[in-house]
């Protein structure tokens, strides 16, 4: 089996689309179809069922997929190990990051990195932190710089780079704006604007409420913190924002016995050898811990 044919098979399997796989691999759709056909001929069995526009894996395809992913991972690992022997910092570096970190934390690091190492092809993906961790675990990204999970997969190695204090924020004309000594129970009685369920930040926010068996009145859910900030500003409810995002239009209110923060940092796969390009970026990020 040719490596490129397996690569095409995995791409189609993950996207359930020949056209999307072609874009991802920088090939034409007929070229992808030809590689799949060659692989099917070599194995003597069909790997995909094509019913209308729907593409599904056959039983043979289901059996092959995890093995193909493993083979590709081993090949990429071998290539990285051999390339690292040269000591050169070059090649492709796939990096995932959240919108907040990509806009507010990473720019000075990436500016310095790309200026110093112009031979590195930086492949940057903006995504939710949860998707970034999953992509690293699945071998689709070299690194992710994201909000770190409260409990990471055992396959992942998370490393904190920044503490990110979180504040409860309201509009300046909110009913609680002039109150003192506000408790969790009183806050829970007001509409909240929060990140989506199953996100790392949402878990940090709701944990103290869950511990006190308080149910939140969630009026809106979005993972875009800038949107949350705007919704709070116009008076639709309270929210939780990084302290670095506070502005004159918002008021941070202290809640009794509530101190929220999240950790931002690097996520890598424990079993993956980092390229010289990835290792150098990790070193540059970690150096910020000591400034």
- What are the tens digits of pLDDT across the range 180-232? 888 999 999 999 999 999 899 999 999 999 999 999 999 999 988 999 999 99
Q: Is pLDDT of 74 > 90?
A: no
* Contact residues for 13 (Cβ-Cβ < 8 A; gap 6+): 57, 61, 65, 68
Q: What is the dihedral of CA 226, 227, 232, 233, to 10 degrees?
A: 70
Neighbours of 283 (CB within 10 A): 9
Q: Is pLDDT of 264 > 70?
A: yes
Write out the residue range of the structural domain in which residue 186 sits.
165-261
Q: Are 176 and 214 in the same domain?
A: yes
Determine, yes or no, domain membership for 39: yes
At 290 the pLDDT is 45
Rounded distance, CA 118 to CA 101, Å? 22
Q: Are 149 and 197 in the same domain?
A: no
End position of a domain, from candidates 45, 73, 101 = 73
Reduced to 3 states (helix: H, G, I; strand: E, B; else coil), residue 289 is helix
CATH number at residue 110: 3.40.190.10
Q: Is pLDDT of 140 > 90?
A: no
Determine, yes or no, domain membership for 84: no
Q: Is the pTM of this model over 0.75?
A: no
End position of a domain, from candidates 73, 100, 134 = 73
- Give the model's confidence band at 270: pLDDT under 50 very low, under 70 low, under 90 confident, else very high: very high
Q: Are 148 and 271 in the same domain?
A: yes
Q: Are 114 and 129 in the same domain?
A: yes
What is the domain count for the chain?
A: 3
Contact criterion met (CB below 8 Å) for 269 and 196: no
Q: Are 58 and 100 in the same domain?
A: no
Q: Would you call 38 exposed, middle or buried from its count of C-beta atoms within 10 A (0-12, 13-18, 19+)?
A: middle
Alpha helices in 59-138 (DSSP H): 59-84, 99-104, 107-116, 129-137
* Contact residues for 162 (Cβ-Cβ < 8 A; gap 6+): 105, 263, 264, 265, 288
C-alpha Rg value of the chain to the nearest Å: 23
Q: Is pLDDT of 288 > 70?
A: no
Determine, yes or no, domain membership for 233: yes
Q: Is pLDDT of 289 > 60?
A: no
Task: For the chain, report the end-to-end CA distance as a whole number of angstroms.
Answer: 50
Determine, yes or no, domain membership for 81: no
Determine, yes or no, domain membership for 80: no
Q: Are 137 and 255 in the same domain?
A: no
Q: Are 126 and 206 in the same domain?
A: no
- Give the model's confidence band at 1: pLDDT under 50 very low, under 70 low, under 90 confident, else very high: low
Q: Are 131 and 177 in the same domain?
A: no
User: In the structure encoding, which two tokens stand for residue 156, read together?
Assistant: 């992942």
User: In the structure encoding, which two tokens stand for residue 19, read together?
Assistant: 């056209």
Q: Are 155 and 170 in the same domain?
A: no
Determine, yes or no, domain membership for 83: no
Q: Are 272 and 242 in the same domain?
A: no
CATH number at residue 27: 1.10.10.10
Q: Are 233 and 118 in the same domain?
A: no
Q: Is pLDDT of 291 > 50?
A: no
Q: Are 270 and 147 in the same domain?
A: yes
> What is the DSSP secondary structure assignment for residue 274, as one 8-state letter?
P
Q: Who has greater pLDDT, 73 or 291?
A: 73
């Amino acid at each position: 089996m040719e490596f490129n044919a397996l690569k095409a098979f995995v791409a189609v399997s993950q996207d359930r689309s020949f056209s999307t796989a072609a874009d991802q691999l920088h090939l034409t759709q007929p070229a992808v179809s030809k590689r799949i056909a060659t692989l099917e001929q070599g194995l003597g069995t069909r790997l995909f069922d094509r019913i209308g526009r729907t593409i599904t894996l056959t039983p043979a395809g289901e059996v092959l997929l995890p093995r193909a992913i493993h083979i590709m991972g081993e090949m990429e690992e071998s290539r990285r190990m051999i390339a690292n022997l040269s000591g050169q910092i070059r090649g492709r570096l796939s990096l995932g990051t959240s919108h907040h970190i990509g806009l507010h934390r990473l720019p000075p690091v990436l500016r310095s990195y790309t200026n110093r190492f112009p031979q590195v092809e930086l492949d940057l993906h903006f995504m939710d932190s949860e998707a970034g961790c999953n992509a690293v675990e699945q071998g689709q990204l070299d690194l992710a710089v994201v909000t770190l999970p409260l409990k990471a997969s055992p396959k992942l190695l998370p490393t904190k780079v920044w503490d990110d204090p979180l504040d409860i924020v309201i509009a300046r004309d909110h009913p609680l704006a002039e109150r003192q000594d506000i408790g969790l129970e009183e806050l829970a009685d007001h509409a909240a604007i929060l990140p989506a369920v199953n996100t790392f930040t949402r878990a940090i926010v709701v944990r103290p409420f869950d511990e006190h068996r308080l149910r939140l009145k969630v009026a809106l859910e979005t993972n875009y913190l800038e949107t949350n900030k705007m919704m709070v500003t116009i008076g639709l409810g309270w929210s939780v924002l990084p302290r670095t995002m506070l502005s004159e239009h918002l008021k941070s209110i202290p809640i009794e016995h509530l101190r929220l923060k999240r950790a931002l940092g690097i996520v890598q796969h424990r079993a993956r050898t980092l390229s010289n390009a990835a290792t150098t970026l990790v070193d540059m990020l970690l150096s910020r811990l000591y400034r």
